[in-house]
Amino acid sequence: MSIYIDPAVAASLRGFEMPEKLGFGTVMAPVMFRAVCQDGCWSQGELVPYAPLALDPAAKVLHYAQSCFEGMKAYRTQAGGVSLFRPERNAARMAHSAARLCMPPVPEALFMDGVRTVTAYCANLVPATSGESLYLRPFLFGTQADLSVSASTSYEFYVIASPSEAYHAGNMRLWVEREDSRAALGGTGDAKVGGNYAASLRSVARLKERGYDQSLWLNPGNRNTVDELSGMNFFAVINGELHTPALSGSILEGVTRDSLIDLARDMGYTVHERAIDIDELLGQVAEGSCDEAFACGTAAIVSPISLFGDGGREYPLAKAPGPVAERLRQMLLDIQEGRAEDKFGWMHPVEVVSID
Amino acid sequence: MSIYIDPAVAASLRGFEMPEKLGFGTVMAPVMFRAVCQDGCWSQGELVPYAPLALDPAAKVLHYAQSCFEGMKAYRTQAGGVSLFRPERNAARMAHSAARLCMPPVPEALFMDGVRTVTAYCANLVPATSGESLYLRPFLFGTQADLSVSASTSYEFYVIASPSEAYHAGNMRLWVEREDSRAALGGTGDAKVGGNYAASLRSVARLKERGYDQSLWLNPGNRNTVDELSGMNFFAVINGELHTPALSGSILEGVTRDSLIDLARDMGYTVHERAIDIDELLGQVAEGSCDEAFACGTAAIVSPISLFGDGGREYPLAKAPGPVAERLRQMLLDIQEGRAEDKFGWMHPVEVVSID
Ligand SMILES: Cc1ncc(COP(=O)(O)O)c(C=O)c1O
Ligand SMILES: Cc1ncc(COP(=O)(O)O)c(C=O)c1O
């Protein structure tokens, strides 16, 4: 299906001024992509100026959190072009998230149209500094005005974009969360849906008071093995080998996690996907066989962990930032920013549309 | 603080035509109450015509489900007036839900202003048929435009209303949900927040295909004791005594549940609040010592359960509808609709505002 480009888009883009300070997810690109779905039928996709949405006060999303989203980035490459990283994985994950909440999937072609069109028109907004990028946020939510607890009959899909710095800079201090959960066993942890993030806020508020940066979530079934962080997956380096939690049903399957597993193996590391017992891991940190740990995600890329706090004790990592995290981060960015060969076929170049 | 009444409210109310068929939560009253909160400071409350909200596409509620709500009713009483049922309990529960998601509480006075003002102006919209009422939906959500996962700095609070029939009529067939969870241990199950309802949709979609009406949720920690239904609490009658799950941390503390416990005791029943093992309960249904079960909630009032389905087996209840449920339902409605003495001081009469 063709995409409708609102004639006002050009003026919006021309009038946009890039602020000095970007931050993460606060500066919004002046255009957005949208499509609506009524009773299972999708409208044409449109690129329109960024503007407030009109939502009925009884819309399902406001009451019953029927919403899911994705996070991905457009990178400026060495050669001057703009590329997306494995966008088909985000399209597939969004379909999975939608199904968990009884929402219609956004068709892969429509999803790709959305992220490609926004990227193509916003190419001038992709920052050129390594580690910075145009963060893309596709999202889908139920709009039917009806207060009964049931799936919406109508939906809206948007792609908005934000020129951004990388999400985390420093070495992260993690708090082992033994009480709160972000998602249930048999819940929505393996889907990228709003409720998981809402449930995580209290833990983060509490740990910040104690001087920590992020919660380390445990499996809600056994409360003993590591799941992930609120917006990143987890890796530990134990005796020089990489260990990451196997997908447990309550872990979001990160595109970065998956890519790092391939990349690390290709670089000669042994990588284990397994259930990681938290007490065993903390013991290994204390005794030194685990000397490095890091988190990864689209927003955070690869972010080193400096210590674990658990109850009254702290477990500092010997190497923070550690050499494995540094090498992986650099190799991943080299591929994403076009300095290294794209041997896995991950990069998806976008043809730029020039305005004026 | 005084309440601002938009001059357009009168025309909206005069122009409203009550449809023949009400249903539940589909017909919306033509006015709504709103207040906004910026950095912890609440604006004046306003009564305005019901109209779409303008929401930034990056608003927290759309991505991270930072939202909570309440459900309560205004009843037309025998004497011709209009009354709310224990509204201060809803105000307190909403403050509890808000805190779980790091949202500022709606001050009790503002909450009461909201539900009272909507009820006062919509008094003509409160149906007169027993069991019908004006369903009120207060809700609160984060509006800050910022894609980082953190609590919003700005919020909007609304009260909308819907003239409604009671939510469930028939005898309900419950499906014992052994796989999915609506909320985690350490999650948000004891708060009335959107994510719990989104997580419940898949179970309901599956069980409807098999001919059931509602999921019976088990405790997500032990997966063996009964919690509640998606929008109602649970009671069983065993050897003539009432049993309801004790508040487990993942159960919403229903105002109706609480009221029925008092009412039943006052009517001479023995009431137990305890952990109810599902297998033991199904055994008691099979052998006949549990001959009646029902669910309760603001929307559903008291709704009898006709059977439990679990895996391949069905456990029909000997009495459906049963006499205990019928007596409790009638007594509760008699109090709410002003036919019986309000001996517990539950009713909160609202002074009606007449338009024109
Ligand atoms: C809960 C959670 N885990 C992991 C990730 C990392 O996934 P990805 O690498 O696809 O960005 C994210 C976010 O993106 C997330 O929200
Ligand atoms: C999950 C859940 N449990 C129980 C109830 C019953 O609570 P109340 O009696 O206050 O309406 C509700 C809804 O109202 C609910 O959403």
Question: What pLDDT band is residue A235 in, cutting at 50, 70 and 90?
Answer: very high
Mean pLDDT value across residues B349-353:
97
Where does chain A hold its CATH 3.20.10.10 domain(s)?
Answer: 172-321
Q: Can you say whether the dihedral through the CA atoms of B306, B310, B311, B316 is positive or negative?
A: negative
Amino acid making up residue A353: V
Percentage with pLDDT > 90 across chain A: 94
CA atoms within 13 A on the CB side of A259: 26
Cβ-contact A137, A161 below 8 angstroms: yes
Distance from CA of A343 to the nearest CA of B (A): 32
- Chain B positions touching A52 (Cβ under 8 A) are 54-57
Prediction ipTM score: 0.97
**CATH node for B172-321:** 3.20.10.10
DSSP letters of A124-184?
GGS--STT-EEEEEEEEEE--B--SSS--SEEEEEEEEEEE--S--S-EEEEEESS--SS-
The helix (run of H) or strand (run of E) holding residue A336 is helix A323-336
> Which ligand is in closest contact with the Cα of B195?
2
Non-local (6+) Cβ contacts of B3 within 8 A are B33, B44, B45, B46, B47, B113, B117
**CB pair distance less than 8 Å for A158 and B57:** yes
The overall pTM is greater than 0.90? yes
- Enclosing H/E stretch for B64: helix B60-64
Asked if B102 and A202 come within 8 Å (Cβ–Cβ), the reply is yes
Segments of chain A assigned E as strands: 4-5, 31-38, 41-42, 46-49, 53-55, 67-69, 72-76, 82-85, 133-142, 154-164, 172-177, 214-218, 226-228, 233-238, 241-245, 271-274, 290-297, 301-310, 313-316, 347-350
Q: How far is B212 from chain A (nearest CA, A)?
A: 15
Q: Token digits for B347?
A: 């009713």
- Measured between beta carbons, which residues in chain B are less than 8 angstroms from residue A181? 184-187
Distance CA A70, CA A26 (A): 16
List, for residues A241-285, the tens digit of each pLDDT value. 999 999 999 999 999 999 999 999 999 999 999 999 999 999 999
Min Cα distance B230 → chain A (Å) is: 8
Residue extent(s) of CATH 3.30.470.10 domains in chain B = 3-165
Could you name the CATH architecture of B3-165?
2-Layer Sandwich (3.30)
Report the atom number in ligand 1 closest to the C-alpha of A257: 9
Pairwise CA distance, residues A58 & B314, whole Å: 37
Asked whether B303 and B296 are in contact (CB, 8 A), the reply is yes
For residue A164, CA distances in Å to A18, A129, A299, B146 come to: 11, 10, 9, 12
CB A199 to CB B182 under 8 A? no
Beta carbon pairs, A and B, within 8 Å: 221
Pocket test for ligand 1, best of A70, A234, A252 (most atoms within 8 A of CB): A252
How would residue A169 be classed by pLDDT, with cut points 50, 70 and 90? low
Burial of B292 by CB count in 10 Å (0-12 exposed, 13-18 middle, 19+ buried)? buried
User: What's the pLDDT band for B194 if we cut at 50, 70, 90?
Assistant: very high
Mutate to test the interface with B, among A63, A157, A190 (most CBs of B within 10 A): A63
Mean pLDDT over A19-46 rounds to 96
pLDDT digits (tens, 9 = 90+) for B248-283: 999 999 999 999 999 999 999 999 999 999 999 999
Residues in chain B: 356
pLDDT score at B169: 60
Tell me which residue has its CA closest to atom 8 in ligand 2: B254
* Ligand 2: lining residues by beta carbon, under 6 Å: B 71, 192, 228, 231-233, 252, 254-257, 297-298
Residue of B62, B160, B203 best to disrupt the A interface, most CBs of A under 10 A: B62
Residue that is written with structure tokens 């983060």 in the block: A204
Nearest to B66 among A145, A183, A198 (CB): A198
**Nearest Cα to Cα of residue A193 among A267, A121, A141:** A141
Enumerate residues lining ligand 1, CB below 6 A: A 71, 192, 228, 230-233, 252, 254-257, 297-298
Determine, for residues A148 and B137 on separate chains, whether the beta-carbon distance falls below 8 Å: no
pLDDT at A81 over 80: yes
Per-residue pLDDT band for B14 (boundaries 50, 70, 90) equals very high
User: Smallest Cα–Cα separation from A346: which of A139, A75, A45?
Assistant: A75
Smallest CA–CA separation between B328 and chain A, in Å? 24
Q: Which two tokens stand for residue A146?
A: 């009806």
**In the prediction, which pLDDT does A40 show?**
95
CA distance B155 to B67: 9
Q: Which of A160-174, B92-106, B167-181 is the most confident on average?
A: B92-106
pLDDT band, very low/low/confident/very high, at A314 (cuts 50, 70, 90): very high
- DSSP result, B172-204: EEEEEESS--SS-TTTTTTS-BHHHHHHHHHHH
Cβ contact, residue pair A194, B197, below 8 Å: no
Question: b/e string for B162-179 if b means 16 or more Cβ within 10 A?
Answer: bbbbbbbeebbbbbbbee
Enumerate the β-bridge partners of residue B4.
B46
> Would you give the DSSP letter of residue A105?
P
Strand partners, A303: A295
Closest C-alpha among B208, B296, B193, B176 to residue B250: B193
CA of A37 to the centre of ligand 2 (A): 30
